[in-house]
């Protein structure tokens, strides 16, 4: 079976919302367009205008309800719609301070009052707010996901992993063999840099926002806590769902 690109997902706001794309353009040394371009800072954050570590922001590992949000971003990034089964729907201009109060009110319906209070959206000067400061794109393998689902004993959603690119037609954990090598997807080439170590956020059901599966326990049966790999774009171009994927032999 030929490997192919099954899905492209971006997450405009770190930890809050997901959006599927049919196609996008990758640029060398850059992140997936608009992926985690914003994050919601809290009142204990220490930020200087640049990239910030995940502890500065609202995260699904702290409040799993965030995992149930979906997102829709306009083509130019000027309008963002968030939807959540409890908080409802909200449309804002993410770069406008005028909409901060609307966002905070929306978050107040799902974010516990005893946790550090959200203060608004943060956008770094020249970086996206992924967990790593490097311009990484996450690549996940549907076969590895099925292996975890089988080990847990329930049908898990791929959205637990909040990945960018999902590949079909591979063997389970085959992606771990690519570290230090390059793969080609559509017109783009990506260098695979490292495995992704996972946290308790993956235990939350992205439909309900409740923890209901021991994903970390399942991963530990393979003697690791990793799922997916980080890769960096070395040759840019258009990628689209259904594109063939060339992987190392």
pLDDT of residue 95: 96
Architecture label for domain 4-31+132-246 = Beta Barrel (2.40)
Contact (Cβ atoms closer than 8 angstroms) between residue 42 and residue 118: yes
Burial 117-134 (b: 16+ CB within 10 A, else e): ebbebbebeebbbbbeee
Give residue limits of the domains in the chain.
Answer: 4-31+132-246, 39-122
Contact (Cβ atoms closer than 8 angstroms) between residue 84 and residue 15: no
The tens digit of pLDDT for each residue in 160-194 reads 999 999 999 999 999 999 999 999 999 999 999 99
pLDDT of residue 1: 65
- pLDDT, one tens digit for every residue, the chain (249 residues): 689 999 999 999 999 999 999 999 999 999 999 999 999 999 999 999 999 999 999 999 999 999 999 999 999 999 999 999 999 999 999 999 999 999 999 999 999 999 999 999 999 999 999 999 999 999 999 999 999 999 999 999 999 999 999 999 999 999 999 999 999 999 999 999 999 999 999 999 999 999 999 999 999 999 999 999 999 999 999 999 999 999 987
What is d(CA 158, CA 227) in angstroms, rounded to the nearest whole number?
11
pLDDT of residue 249: 77
Contact (Cβ atoms closer than 8 angstroms) between residue 11 and residue 85: no
How are beta strands 4-10 and 19-21 bridged, if at all?
antiparallel
Positions of E strands within 123-241:
137-141, 165-168, 182-185, 188-197, 226-235, 237-240
Q: Can you give the three-state secondary structure of 56-83, one letter per residue? A: HECCCCCCHHHHHCEEEECCCCCCEEEE
Residue 152 CA from chain centroid, whole number: 22
Query: Which residues have C-beta within 8 Å of that of residue 61, sequence separation ≥ 6?
Result: 199, 200, 201
* pTM as predicted: 0.96
The tens digit of pLDDT for each residue in 127-155 reads 999 999 999 999 999 999 999 999 999 99
């Amino acid at each position: 079976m030929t490997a192919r690109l099954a899905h492209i997902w971006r997450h405009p706001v770190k930890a809050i919302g997901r959006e599927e794309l049919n196609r996008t353009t990758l640029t060398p040394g850059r992140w997936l367009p608009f992926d985690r371009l914003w994050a919601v800072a809290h009142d204990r954050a220490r930020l200087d205008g640049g990239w910030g570590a995940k502890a500065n922001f609202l995260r699904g590992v702290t409040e799993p309800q965030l995992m149930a949000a979906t997102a829709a971003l306009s083509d130019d990034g000027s309008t963002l719609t968030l939807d959540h089964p409890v908080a409802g729907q909200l449309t804002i201009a993410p770069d406008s301070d005028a909409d901060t109060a609307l966002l905070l009110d929306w978050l107040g319906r799902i974010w516990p009052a005893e946790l550090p209070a959200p203060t608004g959206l943060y956008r770094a000067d020249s970086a996206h707010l992924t967990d790593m400061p490097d311009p990484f794109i996450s690549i996940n393998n549907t076969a590895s996901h099925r292996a975890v689902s089988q080990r847990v004993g329930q049908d898990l959603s791929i959205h637990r992993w909040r990945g960018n690119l999902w590949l079909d037609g591979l063997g389970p954990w085959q992606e771990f063999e690519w570290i230090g090598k390059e793969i080609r997807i559509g017109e783009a080439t990506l260098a695979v840099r490292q495995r992704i170590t996972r946290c308790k956020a993956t235990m939350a059901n992205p439909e309900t926002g409740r923890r209901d599966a021991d994903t970390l326990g399942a991963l530990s049966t393979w003697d690791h806590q990793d799922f997916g790999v980080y890769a960096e774009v070395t040759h840019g171009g258009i990628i689209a769902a259904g594109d063939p994927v060339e992987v190392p032999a």
